[in-house]
Structure 1
Amino acid sequence: MTVAEAAPLSFVRRLHPETLRWLGGAAGALALHASLRALNALVLILYGQYDLPALPVATWLSGLAAAVTLYTFGSYLRDRMTGVLLAGLWSVVPVISGHHASLFTALAAGSLLAALRKNWLTAGVLCLLAGLTLPTGAALTLVVVPVAVIALVRDPREWRPWVATVLALAGLAGGLPQLGTGRLTVETGLLLLLAVALLVVAAGERLPRPLLVYAGGVVLIALAARQAQALIPAFPLLLPIVYAIRRSHNRVVPFAVVGALTVASAVLSVHLTA
């Protein structure tokens, strides 16, 4: 083996075992996301509803970023398999959703994770960027600001929560003026009702309160705007499904659930683009 060939192996051996495990799980989440999105796009191409070059590279890149962030978030909440399943379930979202929803999901998950870890500057910056990306950033602000204020009450000498609060509030200026109202169709109404039902189930799962507040805020914004597409970043609503899969202890269940949701998503994509 030459020196050039041995260098990568030497670098890998120096990595911390936990880092290696995270990289392995992240690679799995990325592969699952890419496969599901490609399958969704293939169905649209076969039905003549979609042209592959029409999908911007930004949509794929933002989707991959969201998948990695959701994997990290799920791993923080429970374990790596929870992260992979969370990323996988979110990845069945139709590709026609565009890159803004995927980018916002990545920013929102990163901001929430930073807030839970009390990394205030990261939480504030990501919340600001999320607010400038989509109007649903208001739901994220509803989480970051109160959590930061609580930290200030506990330790008024800490300046980082102040900065996070200001940054989070600044994100509202770019997002709220973009909020519009869509047309309420049967499909939209059913999806909104499903979101409300999942929110109720999520409350019963005793998720961290910041996640429930964020998910509830996204659902309220989607109901007010009558836009089912606004629900795409509401990834905490998927956690009850993920937890149910983990409790099943059956290796077939994850494939069955993800497969069924993938088929349903593909059918919905064809219907929406028809």
Structure 2
Amino acid sequence: MAAVLVRTDEGGPGLGTILAARYDAIYYLHIAEYGYAAPMANDCVVQGALCKYAFFPLYPGLIRGFSAVLPLPVGWVAWGIAAIASLLAAWGIFSVAERVAGRRTGVIAVVLWGIAPHAMVESMAYTEPVFTALSAWALYAALSHRWTQAGLLASLAGLTRPSGSAVVAAVVLTALWTMFVSHRRREEASVRGDRTGPLLVAVLVAPLGWCAWFAWVGYRAGDWRGYFQVQEKWGSAFDGGRFTFHRIADMFLQRSLTLNTAVVAATIISAVVLFVLCVQQRQHPALLIYAGVLLLIAVGGEGYFHSKARFLLPAFPLLLPIAQGLAKARPRTAYTLLAASTLLSSAYGVYLMLVWQRSP
């Protein structure tokens, strides 16, 4: 952010505009101020009257609620919520990583998340910080066998982004597996002291937010497929990865190549490799399910290739193999690599904010 601030002093958009008044942030602010039904001038020409229903309601709801009690411009409120959520996300990532791999790995995992490609979004009025915070703490609750909390947090995550299905799947499937193991052992209490009641709460509550929004958009559209129709008008659909594969393949055939395209392609390939490593390391099933579904959504989605690295930003379990490797390395080696990566990430963040002309 400091690097962007220095460049904004040279002219161009101000820092406030960059962080809270461009790209997707415009839609969240408009929803917070005027609701979903109000038309947007010069926007949604192609997507139609229901275009804003592609954006899930939790984040604009938080903006609207805090704006009602705080004497601040709505853009400041939106950015403040995202900034606080980023801190909560970092805390949650540390807690998860510390629980499964130790304190040193937890610290390094947070640093890696903060310097990942497109990490600049963590400082913008986007949903990624809120979603990552809710997902990280939902996973931590599942790892800690606090199933009621896990279900509630997963339900809220499902109201934040369409990829909320990842944390919903992680909580529900892990809870069901725990119930299955408990039943097979013919114990009244499930594994490690879990009880069937909280497990059932997690299974039933976790999908509520995600399913409720899909149902509501379907009702507004007059078709149960309403949300998918809205996404199709935005140019987004699931094709099993064909679009992503062709974009990466075409990258080697193009004479002109943008920095963003190269970074996104490298991020996708790295994410696939890291997921394989996570499976080989036998990470906790909840983490594997969460990261795997996020990876499937990002790779399998058609359109918005330039944003796929951002879509993978919440998939922090993929960083654990790197964090564990650096935790075992000599301190000088780890610090040197992290410092160099931070400088590269900062430079790329400036490029995304001030040079790149599309949504990060």
TM-score by length of 2: 0.59
Q: Residue 98 of structure 2 contacts residue 105 of structure 2 at CA under 8 Å; is this kept in 1?
A: yes
- The CA deviation string for residues 98-156 of structure 1, in whole angstroms up to 9 with x for no partner, is 34111111111111111122111010001001111111111112211111112333258
- CA distance in structure 1 between the partners assigned to 2:157 and 2:337 by the alignment: 30
Superimposed CA distance per residue, residues 206-238 of structure 1 (whole angstroms, 9 cap, x where no aligned partner):
222221121111111111234221101000111
1:23 maps to none
Which residue of 325, 328, 339 maps to 1:244? 325
Residue in 1 aligned with 2:283? 207
Residue from 51, 58, 63 that aligns with 2:14: 51
Is 1:122 the counterpart of 2:203? The answer is no
8 Å Cα contact 1:134-1:175 kept in structure 2: no
Aligned with residue 349 of structure 2, among 259, 269, 272 = 269
Contact 1:135–1:175, Cα closer than 8 Å, also in 2: no
1:75 Cα offset (Å)? 1.7
Q: What is the alpha-carbon distance in structure 1 between the residues aligned to residue 267 and residue 162 of structure 2?
A: 19
Letter in 2 for 1:127: A
- Asked if the contact 2:131/2:160 (under 8 Å) is kept, the reply is yes
Where in structure 1 are there 5+ consecutive unaligned residues?
1-40
SS at match of 2:352: helix
The question of whether the paired residues in 2 share the 8 Å contact of 1:127 and 1:168 is answered with: yes
Distance 2:337 2:177 in 1: 39
For 2:278, the aligned partner's letter is A
Q: Which residue of 2 aligns with 1:3?
A: none
Q: Which residue of 1 aligns with 2:100?
A: 77
- Corresponding residue of 2:209: 171
CA contact 2:291–2:315 (8 Å) conserved in 1: yes
Tell me which structure has the larger Cα radius of gyration.
2
Partner Cα distance (1:80, 1:235) in 2: 16
Does residue 255 of structure 1 match 2:335? yes
Aligned to 2:22: none
Would the aligned equivalents of 2:121 and 2:128 in 1 still touch at CA under 8 Å?
Answer: no
Which residue of 102, 105, 110 maps to 2:132?
105
Whether 2:218 is the aligned partner of 1:193: answer no
Q: Which residue of 1 aligns with 2:84?
A: 61
**Residue equivalent to 2:296:** 220
Distance 1:194 1:78, change over 3 A: closer
Backbone CA RMSD of aligned residues: 2.4
Alpha-carbon contact 1:108-1:130 (below 8 Å) kept = yes
Once the 2 structures are TM-superposed, how far is the Cα of residue 191 of structure 1 from its aligned partner? 2.0
Give percent identity, aligned residues only: 30
Corresponding pairs, count? 233
One-letter amino acid of the counterpart of residue 164, structure 1: A
What amino acid is the match of 2:351? Answer: H
Q: Which residue in 1 is equivalent to 2:35?
A: none
Q: Which moved more, 1:158-167 or 1:253-262?
A: 253-262
For residues 288 and 213 of structure 2, the distance between their equivalents in structure 1, rounded to whole angstroms, comes to: 21
Q: Tell me the distance in 2 between the aligned counterparts of 1:50 and 1:267.
A: 18
Instruction: In structure 2, give the amino acid aligned to 1:190.
Output: A
- Match of residue 163, structure 2, among 120, 130, 136: 136
Show CA shifts across 1:21-48 (max 9, x none): xxxxxxxxxxxxxxxxxxxx11222333
SS at the partner of 1:122? helix
Which string of whole-angstrom CA distances, capped at 9 and with x for unpartnered residues, describes residues 159-194 of structure 1?
A: 211111111121322566486639964443332122
Q: What residue in structure 1 maps to residue 29 of structure 2? A: none
Q: Is the 8 A contact 2:175 2:202 kept in 1?
A: yes
CA distance in 1, matches of 2:16, 2:281: 41
Report SS of the residue matched to 1:113: helix
Paired with 1:100 and 1:232, the residues of 2 have a C-alpha distance of 11
Q: How far off its partner does 1:199 sit?
A: 1.2
Amino acid corresponding to residue 264 of structure 2 in structure 1: T
